[in-house]
């Protein structure tokens, strides 16, 4: 049996991690996770880690669900793979498409599968642009997105997203994307501006962009109902209904990227229902299988579907589109979510409890804002509570906080100095209490460290990762 040190050595020697500074990682070594049960994962040293992030916003039904393993095993034994390219398909693929449409908001009719959120978004971009070309409007191609949005890591996903660091490394960003102000009051609201008014102002930024580019050139507006990887930016309730009205007025499609918000995270099957709008296109992934298999889907409404079907063959798809094992696991996962009432549990019970407990951290001297929706939350770390001034970027306070959390055996992720949480939907009240207690002690420890006079560090930058 390989030891932790053996695995760390091999990891350092051969494995490139996503979104990682390898120089630092290789100096410090990775923590190797080997097991999971409920909201807990275990590492090679036998330490139990409370997972406040559901892996990567995906393990909604929690770890260790044997029936998902059994669903995969049964499907692999019966038929491990077949494709849907040449007038063929498989039973779980068809059943899942029908099930997703039954769960989707009214008006949705068709589903195309892929394996990741990024691929789903690439698919949606191709569908939307092709739809307009088939409508006789080939110049209607620009997609409006928001600064700070995350739509994936493929070239199209990163171009559509609004992450400056990712744009920098694209070197040649794809054209046809335009970014506007996000509905992120903590950074963008004017002092004293009412939340409702700020939401309308952020929506107007979209309309201004449509008018500037020209409605006959704008294909779609894309957005995460609640921006996740950009720092759990929760829009005011006035925002999405206004954005939807603007899209309808200018005949621009609305694409909800529900890769994080789909399947119960916000207390509804889809986040758009929680935020009060109906899009034309939904992309989803992650919790569609609770992360037990890679799978994603693009859901389109009748108008988009009928438009696309007028165009003969749509030259798009992946080897693993509608993979039978992934679809069988997704069906079993949806069954758990439905049978255990986990979506309603977030809306009526554990979501409000999480919000109430998270708010107890609001008085901490390091916290400038606490916000949450369903089972997603954020804490803004600030240098000055009264003015909400942020720490200098070089201090990497968010990363220090994240590393302290990990050292205290729980996961809370840092997006700059915004700490984000998205625990599994099965988290108990006692586990919420434990999570909040651990966050409280990490914040106290971090506060003490930040008050202490600086000491010379043995390794430059060793605290920053």
Ligand X SMILES: Cc1ncc(COP(=O)(O)O)c(C=O)c1O
Q: Which residues pair with 33 in a beta bridge?
A: 43
Using CB under 6 A, pick the residue from 44, 54, 75, 118 that binds ligand X.
118
- Least separation in angstroms between residue 7's CB and ligand X is 24
- Least separation in angstroms between residue 18's CB and ligand X is 8
Taking CB under 6 A as the rule, does residue 228 contact ligand X? yes
Q: Torsion over CA of 335, 340, 342 and 344, rounded to 10 degrees?
A: 110
Using the minimum distance from each CB to ligand X, give the nearer residue, 267 or 368: 267
Using the minimum distance from each CB to ligand X, give the nearer residue, 229 or 375: 229
93 neighbors 83 (Cβ within 8 angstroms):
no
- Least separation in angstroms between residue 456's CB and ligand X is 38
Taking CB under 6 A as the rule, does residue 152 contact ligand X? yes
Owner of token pair 């979104």: 19
Using CB under 6 A, pick the residue from 100, 203, 254, 259 that binds ligand X.
259
Both tokens of residue 437? 């207690």
How many residues in the shown chain lie near ligand X by CB under 6 A? 14
- Closest residue to ligand X using C-beta atoms: 117
- Least separation in angstroms between residue 116's CB and ligand X is 4
Taking CB under 6 A as the rule, does residue 295 contact ligand X? no
Taking CB under 6 A as the rule, does residue 151 contact ligand X? yes
Using the minimum distance from each CB to ligand X, give the nearer residue, 39 or 166: 166
- Least separation in angstroms between residue 186's CB and ligand X is 19
- Least separation in angstroms between residue 125's CB and ligand X is 12
294 neighbors 326 (Cβ within 8 angstroms):
yes
Using the minimum distance from each CB to ligand X, give the nearer residue, 159 or 357: 159
Using the minimum distance from each CB to ligand X, give the nearer residue, 92 or 117: 117
What whole-number distance in Å separates Cα of residue 161 and Cα of residue 149?
5
Spell out the residues 6+ positions from residue 166 whose beta carbon is closer than 8 angstroms to its own: 153, 158
Among the listed ranges 73-81, 112-120, 125-133, 184-192, the one in contact with ligand X (CB under 6 A) is 112-120
- Least separation in angstroms between residue 284's CB and ligand X is 9
Using the minimum distance from each CB to ligand X, give the nearer residue, 252 or 285: 285
Q: Torsion over CA of 429, 431, 436 and 437, rounded to 10 degrees?
A: 120
Q: Could you tell me the end-to-end alpha-carbon distance of the chain, in angstroms, rounded to an integer? A: 29
Using CB under 6 A, pick the residue from 113, 131, 150, 391 that binds ligand X.
150
Q: Residue 460: helix, strand or coil by DSSP?
A: coil
> For residue 459, is it left (φ>0), alpha (ψ between -120 and 50) or beta?
beta
Owner of token pair 């798009």: 316
CA angle 77, 82, 85 (to 5 degrees): 170
Using CB under 6 A, pick the residue from 110, 244, 257, 417 that binds ligand X.
257
Taking CB under 6 A as the rule, does residue 376 contact ligand X? no
Among the listed ranges 84-92, 122-130, 255-263, 342-350, the one in contact with ligand X (CB under 6 A) is 255-263
Owner of token pair 């991690």: 17
Q: Can you state the angle between helices 195-213 and 239-250, rounded to 10 degrees?
A: 20
Q: How many CB atoms lie within 10 A of CB 160?
A: 29
59 neighbors 290 (Cβ within 8 angstroms):
yes
User: Which burial class, exposed, middle or buried, applies to 408 when counting CB atoms under 10 A from its CB (0-12, 13-18, 19+)?
Assistant: middle
Nearest to residue 128, comparing CAs of 222, 235, 249, 240?
A: 222
Instruction: Please give the helix or strand (H or E) that residue 348 lies within, else none.
Output: none
Taking CB under 6 A as the rule, does residue 320 contact ligand X? no
Taking CB under 6 A as the rule, does residue 390 contact ligand X? no
Taking CB under 6 A as the rule, does residue 117 contact ligand X? yes
Taking CB under 6 A as the rule, does residue 143 contact ligand X? no
Both tokens of residue 304? 């988009």
3-state helix, strand, coil in the chain (%, to 5): 45, 15, 40
Within residues 392-431, the interface with ligand X by CB under 6 A covers none
- Least separation in angstroms between residue 413's CB and ligand X is 11
Nearest to residue 66, comparing CAs of 286, 342, 343, 333?
A: 333
Among the listed ranges 115-123, 182-190, 212-220, 315-323, the one in contact with ligand X (CB under 6 A) is 115-123
Using the minimum distance from each CB to ligand X, give the nearer residue, 117 or 235: 117
- Least separation in angstroms between residue 142's CB and ligand X is 19
Binding positions for ligand X, rule: CB under 6 A: 116-118, 121, 150-152, 224, 228-229, 257, 259-260, 285
């Amino acid at each position: 049996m390989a030891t932790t040190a053996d695995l760390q050595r091999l990891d350092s020697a051969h494995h490139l991690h996503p979104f990682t500074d390898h120089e630092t990682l290789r100096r410090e070594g990775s923590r190797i996770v080997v097991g999971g049960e409920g909201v807990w994962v275990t590492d090679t040293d036998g330490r139990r880690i409370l997972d406040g992030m559901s892996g990567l916003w995906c393990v909604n039904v929690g770890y260790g669900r044997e029936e998902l393993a059994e669903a995969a095993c049964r499907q692999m034994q019966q038929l491990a793979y077949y494709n849907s390219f040449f007038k063929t398909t498989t039973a779980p693929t068809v059943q899942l498409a029908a099930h997703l449409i039954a769960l989707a908001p009214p008006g949705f009719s068709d589903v195309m599968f892929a394996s990741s959120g990024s691929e789903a978004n690439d698919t949606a971009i191709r569908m939307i642009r092709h739809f307009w070309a088939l409508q006789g409007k080939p110049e209607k191609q620009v997609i409006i997105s928001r600064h700070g949005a995350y739509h994936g890591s493929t070239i199209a996903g990163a171009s559509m997203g609004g992450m400056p660091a990712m744009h920098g490394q694209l070197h040649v960003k794809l054209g046809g994307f335009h970014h506007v102000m996000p509905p992120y009051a903590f950074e963008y609201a004017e002092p004293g501006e009412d939340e409702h008014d700020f939401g309308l102002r952020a929506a107007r930024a979209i309309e201004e962009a449509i008018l500037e580019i020209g409605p006959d050139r704008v294909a779609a507006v894309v957005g995460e109902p609640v921006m996740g990887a950009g720092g759990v930016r929760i829009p005011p309730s006035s925002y999405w209904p206004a954005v939807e009205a603007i899209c309808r007025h200018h005949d621009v499609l609305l694409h909800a990227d529900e890769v994080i918000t789909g399947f119960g995270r916000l207390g509804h099957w889809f986040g758009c229902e929680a935020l009060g709008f109906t899009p034309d296109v939904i992309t989803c992934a992650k919790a569609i299988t609770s992360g037990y298999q890679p799978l994603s889907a693009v859901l389109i409404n009748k108008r988009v579907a009928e438009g696309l079907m007028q165009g003969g063959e749509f030259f798009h798809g992946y080897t693993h589109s509608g993979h039978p094992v992934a679809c069988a696991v997704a069906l079993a996962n949806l069954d758990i979510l439905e049978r255990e009432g986990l979506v309603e549990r977030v809306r009526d019970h554990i979501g409000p409890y999480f919000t109430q407990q998270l708010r107890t951290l609001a008085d901490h001297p390091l916290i400038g804002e606490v916000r949450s929706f369903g089972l997603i939350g954020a804490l803004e770390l600030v240098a000055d509570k009264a003015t909400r001034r942020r720490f200098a970027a070089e201090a990497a306070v968010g990363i220090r906080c994240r590393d302290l959390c990990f050292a205290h055996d729980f996961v809370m992720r840092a997006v700059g100095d915004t700490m984000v949480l998205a625990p599994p939907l099965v988290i108990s009240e006692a586990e919420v209490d434990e999570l909040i207690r651990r966050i409280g002690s990490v914040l106290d420890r971090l506060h003490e460290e930040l008050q202490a006079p600086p000491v010379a560090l043995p390794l430059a930058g060793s605290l920053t990762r």
